[in-house]
Amino acid sequence: MTTSGEHDVIYTINDAAERELAELTAGAGVAMIVALEGYIDAGQAGKLLSDDLLRASRRLVTFDTDEFIDARSRRPMVTYDDGAYFDLKRHVLAMDVCQDAQGVPFLLLHGLEPDYRWDRFVTAVLALAERFGVDLTINVHGIPVAVPHSRPSKFTTTATRGDLVEDTDQWFDRVTLPAALATVLHVRLGEEGRDAVGIAVHVPHYLAQMPYFPAALGLADRIASLTRLELDTAVLEDEATKTIDEVASRVTASAELTQLVASLEGQYDAVEAGRSEASLLISDLDQSANNLADEVEQFLAQQRPEQK
């Protein structure tokens, strides 16, 4: 193991995993996916994708969470039973090596978004990216938008170079908003002339508080198109189908919900076809549409309690 304390950033590198990565890349560049928890992630899209990718991965870098995470604001969970505590869920902030279906490696930066020392953390990640030969960084998350679940996922993308992404259909005008750590990393990469892309998948706002697998699947497909990685999405595909079926079941059982979704479908189709300049921001929706969120979430909680 190699430990670094440069710039007060403490992390440990798994030397064996680094050697394996070097053998797999053979000098070629490697992509890095960034899916940190703590910023906006509607439908848990980024986390669901990250969890799926971690099913077959190897830890490469482990950051010292005491340096970055406020444990009192995000306390670790522990189980109590029969007079004893056990199964302490320690905070994680790490970088793993994953492989696609063809054995092509890529990196995944995951865990909790740091509370402290953003500049120092970003500086460390930049140094690690240089060390491991990262040639493209992709940040992923979900954002709540007034779109229906019955239409294909759309995306808002950002890039440090205009030719990194094929489409420029953003669906949003200029806006100023609080930055995520991944956004700071994106900006720093651009300042250093490195390639980076941000992918925000649009999640139906009324499903933003539940695990929404179609959004995670959309992110995986988008990454594949950008990197040519052949990601194994079988689990995500299965869960996405179940999610859509469950939501559709609830909607069709209610005339009011059917009407609300139909209204969103009409707005979605008109905006996409260029027939309308209507905004898809949540604030522009009629309040009645927000009632769908409570209806669907309660229904899905009853059907799939393990996803609560």
Asked if 93 and 111 touch (Cβ cutoff 8 Å), the reply is yes
Mean pLDDT, the chain, as a whole number? 88
Lookup: tokens for 190? 């651009």
pLDDT score recorded for residue 302? 60
pLDDT score recorded for residue 284? 44
Rounded Cα distance between 44 and 206, Å, is 13
- For residue range 143-194, list pLDDT tens digits in order: 998 899 999 999 999 999 988 887 655 666 778 889 999 999 999 999 999 9
pLDDT score recorded for residue 263? 87
Q: Is the pLDDT of residue 304 over 90?
A: no
Mean pLDDT of 76-99: 95
Lookup: tokens for 106? 């890529």
Write out the H or E segment, with its range, that includes residue 220: helix 213-227
Mean pLDDT of 251-270: 86
Rounded Cα distance between 54 and 287, Å, is 38
Query: How far separated are the first and last CA of the chain, in Å rounded?
Result: 38
Q: Is the pLDDT of residue 267 over 70?
A: yes
- The conformation of residue 113, written as its DSSP 8-state character, comes to P
The single-letter code of the amino acid at 4 is S
Asked if 133 and 24 touch (Cβ cutoff 8 Å), the reply is no
pLDDT score recorded for residue 294? 66
- Predicted confidence band of residue 222 (pLDDT cuts 50, 70, 90): very high
Q: Which of 86, 59, 64, 47 is nearest to 6 (CA)?
A: 64
What is the percentage of the chain residues whose pLDDT exceeds 70?
84
pLDDT score recorded for residue 182? 97
Q: Is the pLDDT of residue 308 over 50?
A: no
Q: Is the pLDDT of residue 298 over 70?
A: no
Q: Is the pLDDT of residue 282 over 80?
A: no
Task: Read off φ and ψ for residue 61, nearest 5 degrees.
Answer: -130, 135
**Which of 125-134, 151-160, 263-272, 295-304 comes out lowest in average pLDDT?**
295-304
R_g of the chain computed on alpha carbons = 20
What is the percentage of the chain residues whose pLDDT exceeds 90?
69
Sign of the four-CA dihedral 36, 41, 46, 47: positive
- For residue range 29-63, list pLDDT tens digits in order: 999 999 999 999 999 999 999 999 999 899 999 99
pLDDT score recorded for residue 285? 47
Mean pLDDT of 285-301: 58
pLDDT score recorded for residue 206? 87
